[in-house]
Amino acid sequence: MSKPKVLFLCTGNSARSQMAEGLLRALAGEYFEIFSAGTEPKGSILPEVEEAMREVGIDISLQWSKSVMEYMGKVNFGYVVTVCSDAEENCPAVFLNMGMHEHWPFDDPAKFSGDDETRLTSTRRVRDQIEDRLRLWLKEQNITPHDYRQM
């Protein structure tokens, strides 16, 4: 039996959707095939996002920023989760009509201002909010997440 495919979608695919992809892999990766994409990909992941994830033991350095169009007509997702309002409004309807669609809006780390430490602190907050929402979603799926921070 194949695993359901999950797509996390945001605008730039440089922060929120990348964190969600990495976190779901750590929490319950054996249950899903996990993807992320952007409606207007930036081409790279923000350094503070990589650092915030590294701090909790998740390496996303092999992930990359990609367009949702890479999946158009190629992948059928069981779950599509938009993590920003822009993606919710601009996502090709074909993806929003696949499987289960949920909208989980989070602040955009790409828009945080201030010095490096201030942006990192704000990014950590978003990372933790995404993890909390993923844990709730997994509970709704009757899946017990791994306590990856103890691994």
Nearest Cα neighbor of 9 from 94, 68, 89 is 68
Nearest alpha-carbon partner for 119 in 17, 19, 46:
46
Tell me which residue range forms the domain holding 11. Answer: 5-150
Q: Which residues are catalytic?
A: 10, 84, 91
Share of the chain above pLDDT 90, in %: 73
- CATH number at 11 reads 3.40.50.2300
pLDDT tens digits, residue range 65-85?
999 989 988 888 999 999 987
26 pLDDT above the threshold of 80: yes
Contact 40, 11 (CB under 8 A): yes
8 A C-beta contact, residue 102 and residue 9: no
pLDDT digits (tens, 9 = 90+) for 120-135: 999 999 999 999 999 9
pLDDT at 81: 93
| Domains held by the chain: number | 1
Q: In what order do the strands lie in the sheet with 33-38?
A: 33-38, 5-10, 79-82, 100-103
Both tokens of 146, joined, read 């791994």
